[in-house]
């Protein structure tokens, strides 16, 4: 790789502008991570300039007929950051706050996540600006099919493979797969990942992100001298990521001393029974932990949960949970980011100065995209794996990535976040340098 000073970028004007919306703030943060890594690597400014720019950005109108006969028109996006390492890969989210800036930032972060895991993918992301709770199932199906039709010119099993994200699931992927297959006139289940098993989905996909977070948390404690047996874990979030993380850490011998969901936080000094808590949520009126009781249980706020004394803290809910307002009061030895972007850049610096080790999201929660890769491979080969094969390969990929990030960070005397981004950027930049620029 050619070494040279980093490329100049927008500076204060952009910094002022990005405060306007969450999407712009997210994009600025993503670019900051890239710029910091590029500066530390002395990256060739020509390569830096290319990596700062997304390869393809598509904005589409998504008109659908509502159940009452009216027509609504929504705005959708699909952004492909780079196809240099391979086909683009990334989720599709349905949310009122979806914006081009948010999708652009997430596409870039997907590139770095795939690069950290050495997956042969570039990053992509898509979404529709809509409140799915306001639509019926039929309206959601029409929306999904029309959106799939609209982005068809740039997706394909070897071009760009969508997956579930916020407010989308395996049913959404089934609709997308069917729409694409009908329009091209042949079966193409490998066009998406995160599908139902009967349609070519992979076993182990539903719990892959949570299992991956647990694997990385265990690896962190093992490498840095904290016994896993009896280690205290606090997990913010009790959805698919939070529950499965708690499940697998408890299996490994950790004490889950705190969890939370939208109803608040729950803590027990001797450890919580996460299986009993999950069972409670399946029958509770709100489908949350609200009202859950057991001897010795204490309730706290979600904010207080983050400050509980523990060995490992896993924010697995929302972004921007650990900030300059609470970073100096965090009592965990390790923070393993199950959510995307739960730690602000200012908090990151405070935690690093205090000696709190933060394992970044692009490594910690990459189990989902890794098993999505396995699903894609199984689809291309028309040869399904069993659960043991999926989990064996997931562990192999995550152990390798974790060791590479730790070794690289220690060799360069940087934080794990800085090391992960530097390693990812260097890999994609090297691939770009080797391929050159067409024509």
pLDDT digits (tens, 9 = 90+) for 114-129: 999 999 999 999 999 9
Percent of the chain topping pLDDT 90: 88
Residues 216, 175 within the same domain: no
Asked if the structure places residue 72 within a domain, the reply is: yes
Does 12 have pLDDT greater than 50?
no
Instruction: Provide the domain limits for residue 349.
Output: 208-359
CATH, residue 262? 3.40.50.720
Query: What are the tens digits of pLDDT across the range 168-210?
Result: 999 999 999 999 999 999 999 999 999 999 999 999 999 999 9
Q: Facing residues of 162 across strands?
A: 90
* Alpha carbons 426 and 158: distance in angstroms, whole number: 24
Number of domains in the chain: 2
Give the pLDDT confidence of 308-366 residue by residue, as tens digits: 999 999 999 888 899 999 999 999 999 999 998 899 888 999 999 999 999 999 999 99
Distance in angstroms (rounded) separating the CA atoms of residues 439 and 224? 48
As a whole number, mean pLDDT of residues 13-35 equals: 75
**158 is an active site residue:** no
Residues 162, 238 within the same domain: no
Give the residue among 6, 193, 31 at the shortest CA–CA distance from 106: 31
Pair 341, 30: CB distance under 8 Å: no
Q: Indicate which CATH number applies to the domain containing 114.
A: 3.40.50.10860
Q: Which listed residue (89, 113, 125, 333) is catalytic?
A: 125
HSE at residue 434, side-chain half, CA atoms within 13 A, is: 8
Spatial distance between the Cα atoms of 150 and 75, rounded to a whole number of angstroms: 11
Q: Are residues 320 and 354 in the same domain?
A: yes
pLDDT band at 110 (very low <50, low <70, confident <90, very high): very high
Q: Are residues 224 and 348 in the same domain?
A: yes
Q: Is residue 15 part of a domain?
A: no
The mean pLDDT of the chain is 93
Count of CB atoms situated within 10 Å of the CB of 142: 20
Q: Given this model, what pLDDT does residue 357 score?
A: 96
What's residue 371's pLDDT? 97
**Domain final residue pick, 359, 378, 413:** 359
Statement: residue 23 has pLDDT above 90? no
Distance from C-alpha of 114 to C-alpha of 123, rounded to nearest angstrom: 7
Q: What is the pLDDT of residues 49-100, one digit of tens each?
A: 999 999 999 999 999 999 999 999 999 999 999 999 999 999 999 999 999 9
Count Cα atoms within 13 angstroms, Cβ side, for 416: 24
> Distance between CA 95 and CA 129 in Å, rounded?
5
Residues 70 and 128 placed together within one structural domain of the fold? yes
Cis ω for the linkage preceding 439 (within 30 of 0): yes
pTM: 0.91
Q: 19 falls in which pLDDT band (50, 70, 90)?
A: low
């Amino acid at each position: 790789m050619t070494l040279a000073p980093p490329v100049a970028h927008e500076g204060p004007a952009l910094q002022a502008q990005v405060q306007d919306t969450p999407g712009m703030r997210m994009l600025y943060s993503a670019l900051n991570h890239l710029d910091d890594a590029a500066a530390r690597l002395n990256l060739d400014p020509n390569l830096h300039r290319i990596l700062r720019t997304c390869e393809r950005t598509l904005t589409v109108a998504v008109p659908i007929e509502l159940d009452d006969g009216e027509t609504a028109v929504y705005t959708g996006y699909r952004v492909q950051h780079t196809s240099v390492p391979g086909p683009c890969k990334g989720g599709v989210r349905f949310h009122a706050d979806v914006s081009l800036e948010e999708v652009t930032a997430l596409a870039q972060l997907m590139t770095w996540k795939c690069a950290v895991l050495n997956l042969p993918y570039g990053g992509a992301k898509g979404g529709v600006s809509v409140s799915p709770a306001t639509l019926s199932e039929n309206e959601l199906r029409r929306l999904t099919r029309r959106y799939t039709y609209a982005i068809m010119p740039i997706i394909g099993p070897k071009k760009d493979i969508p997956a579930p994200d916020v407010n989308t699931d395996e049913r959404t992927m089934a609709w997308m797969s069917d729409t694409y297959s009908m329009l091209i006139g042949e079966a193409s289940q490998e066009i998406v990942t995160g599908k139902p098993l009967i349609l070519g989905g992979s076993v182990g996909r539903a719990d892959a992100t949570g299992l991956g977070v647990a694997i990385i948390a265990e690896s962190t404690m093992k490498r840095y001298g904290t016994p896993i047996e009896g280690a205290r874990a606090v997990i913010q979030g009790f959805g698919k990521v939070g529950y499965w993380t708690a499940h697998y850490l408890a299996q490994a011998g950790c004490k889950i001393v705190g969890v939370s969901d939208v109803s608040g936080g729950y803590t027990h000094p001797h450890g919580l029974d996460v299986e009993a808590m999950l069972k409670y949520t399946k029958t509770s009126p709100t489908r949350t932990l609200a009202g859950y009781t057991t001897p010795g249980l204490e309730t706290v706020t979600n904010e207080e949960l983050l400050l509980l004394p523990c060995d490992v803290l896993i924010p697995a809910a929302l972004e921007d949970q650990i900030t300059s307002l609470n970073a100096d009061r965090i009592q965990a030895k390790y923070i393993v980011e199950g959510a995307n972007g739960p730690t602000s850049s200012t908090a990151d610096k405070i935690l690093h100065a205090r000696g709190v080790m933060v394992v970044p999201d692009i490594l910690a929660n990459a189990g989902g995209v890794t098993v999505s890769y396995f699903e894609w491979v199984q689809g291309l080969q028309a040869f399904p794996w069993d659960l043991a094969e999926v989990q064996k390969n997931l562990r192999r990929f995550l152990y390798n990535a974790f060791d590479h990030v730790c070794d690289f960070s220690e060799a360069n005397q940087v934080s794990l976040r800085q090391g992960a981004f530097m390693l990812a950027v260097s890999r994609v930049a090297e691939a770009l340098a080797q391929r050159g620029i067409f024509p």
